Structure 1
């Protein structure tokens, strides 16, 4: 009997080792990993540069208080601001903590409490980020939540215009809703975001926990929507599996997060910073980002070619190596069938298959994955046709 709370619907797999885009289970079966720890292991499993950096730091010092100067924090923060629109960084242990910090900073800097977020968004599971998350199924049972949040549909420009007032502290968005179904923001909606924030004097927060660190083919997803967020948040791919997050803000917000205003015992831990520095030095290379764009284009083209003719496939969408396949049926059984074939993929809601392969994926592995997916979906499509 397990001593763990049953909070996860665990799969039948125990991962014992991994390298690049391959995972091996307890029975030595190999899996092609197209989930990368949910967009975490962007550089693949056991990336030598990241592994070496963490091993080297292990023999120096594991942890000191943030009352000490930590040189690695300065290096990672500098890498982040040099490659973004931000000026200052606060380090956390997770995406939820980074989003909590963003919410606190927005409220403190503006003196306002109301924040508008999007329906079907996902920002975390703390009480603050739970209130920011626009999904009732995630919030159920934990009320009453913070009352200062309201929600509009992604790309509903009229609703956004009506919801934001002079009392709104911030609008908080994902440029691609990962957990919500791999839905992309329209360019016209991003333009309206900029106009409304300017008109109403509110801040723009972009949650880049899943879309950041190269996942969409640029350093940060907001770049592809021509946005310049006042605050953006990171985690997942920042440590390639080592727990680390970050909130990045513009210079105008510095005074609102002065001494004693916020803190984290483990945020910016030397081990986490060693991993993050190695990750950023690799991901921010032009050739790495170009590779993500090229592989993402190849993957989407092959998916559309082989899957679009199937009746159960409604849409294929995404950017870079963040792709959703929307189906007309629920996908839980399809995910299981993929695992049986040796392919690991994720859901994004009940009817979307989400693909998040590591950046080190090869053309051959893309071909293998698409073939496996095609076999599973063709079988399901044939069954669906018979049932109809």
Structure 2
């Protein structure tokens, strides 16, 4: 089943509705450090307190467990859950990777407890990880996948993909929104998918990741984490100061919930020359910025 919407938050809430309808259960398990959107249902699953602070009415049917902790996941799922949702690579967490065996373990736990496994691929999908999707990057198949952001190349869109089992009980009219699945958004998504798949941009993404890891060796940068072109540069100083200095040089980067991690999410078409430009600007900034005592 494919369902159109206007945003990632909407796609995630549709996933919750499908999972709850199929299982007859209320509980959703999510991970600490995750971001799933700002609408009420998606915000309830978001595991970052700064977005939830002061928001009333989020309910008690979503529980959070530490990312990467299979024992905590097993305990939460054993109490009867409709779904387990996660970002396979936590973007706002600083491009935090799942521990080895974690996703496979979640797949087994969901199978044994009857819960649906949901991959929020709003940031990881469409080639971002060096594969068509996170499911393909890690070799683990979820029951539900959500997509948005790059799917429309700037045109607002969200999408939910559901397995036959998950979608079996969904009827016409159960899911929908005023502009969800409209012709403009769908045309943008169709063109984007044709470009990404036709050019196999995930292969270029993997090549650019390799180039970054090979050439970004400089004082002040301690390590690189993440996958594909969703990368976290772990610095020896606050990332916000470095980000501001890079903006002054005409280079846009992101920060994360981890103070010392600078996030990279460049376009999938970023060139080797642009990677070199980023490297030079970052090296200059790190060489000139004082390391805090």
Q: 1:134 aligns with which of 28, 47, 50?
A: 47
Q: 2:233 aligns with which of 314, 317, 325?
A: 325
**Paired residues for 1:348-387 under 5 Å:** 348-349=256-257, 350-380=259-289, 383-384=290-291
Q: What's the counterpart of residue 38 of structure 1? A: none
**Paired residues for 1:147-158 under 5 Å:** 147-158=60-71
* Displacement after TM superposition at 1:329 (Å): 3.2
Q: What's the counterpart of residue 5 of structure 1? A: none
Deviations 1:273-310, CA, capped at 9 Å, x for gaps: 1111111011113642211111121122212x23xx43
Deviations 1:178-203, CA, capped at 9 Å, x for gaps: 11221011231112101101111111
Structure 2 distance, partners of 1:291, 1:224, is 14
Structure 2 distance, partners of 1:187, 1:286, is 30
**Paired residues for 1:157-236 under 5 Å:** 157-236=70-149
Deviations 1:42-98, CA, capped at 9 Å, x for gaps: xxxxxxxxxxxxxxxxxxxxxxxxxxxxxxxxxxxxxxxxxxxxxx10000110110
* Displacement after TM superposition at 1:109 (Å): 0.9
TM-score (norm 2): 0.95
Contact 2:85–2:119 (8 Å) recurs in 1: yes
Equivalent residue of 1:253, what SS? helix
Structure 1 unaligned runs (5+)? Answer: 1-87
Structure 2 distance, partners of 1:351, 1:266, is 40
Q: What's the counterpart of residue 68 of structure 1? A: none
**Paired residues for 1:80-99 under 5 Å:** 88-99=1-12
* Displacement after TM superposition at 1:166 (Å): 4.7
Equivalent residue of 2:187, what SS? helix
Equivalent residue of 2:3, what SS? strand
Contact 1:322–1:354 (8 Å) recurs in 2: yes
User: 4+ runs of 1 displaced by more than 4 Å?
Assistant: none
Q: What's the counterpart of residue 174 of structure 2? A: 261
TM-score (norm 1): 0.73
Structure 1 distance, partners of 2:192, 2:204, is 15
Q: What's the counterpart of residue 18 of structure 2? A: 105
Structure 2 unaligned runs (5+)? Answer: none
Q: 1:302 aligns with which of 196, 212, 215?
A: 215
Question: Higher relative CO (CA 8 A, sep ≥ 6), structure 1 or 2?
Answer: 1
Structure 2 distance, partners of 1:166, 1:257, is 25
Contact 1:300–1:323 (8 Å) recurs in 2: no
Contact 2:126–2:151 (8 Å) recurs in 1: yes
Q: What's the counterpart of residue 276 of structure 1? A: 189
Relative to structure 1, the CA distance from residue 129 to residue 198 in structure 2 (aligned partners, 3 Å threshold; closer, same or farther) is same
Contact 2:116–2:166 (8 Å) recurs in 1: no
Equivalent residue of 2:168, what SS? helix
Worse-superposed segment, 166-175 or 254-263: 254-263
Contact 1:161–1:196 (8 Å) recurs in 2: yes
Equivalent residue of 1:172, what SS? strand
Larger of the two Rg values belongs to structure: 1
Equivalent residue of 2:101, what SS? helix
Q: What's the counterpart of residue 316 of structure 1? A: 224
Relative to structure 1, the CA distance from residue 281 to residue 336 in structure 2 (aligned partners, 3 Å threshold; closer, same or farther) is same
CA root-mean-square deviation = 1.4
Structure 2 distance, partners of 1:254, 1:181, is 33
Contact 1:175–1:184 (8 Å) recurs in 2: yes
Structure 2 distance, partners of 1:272, 1:185, is 32
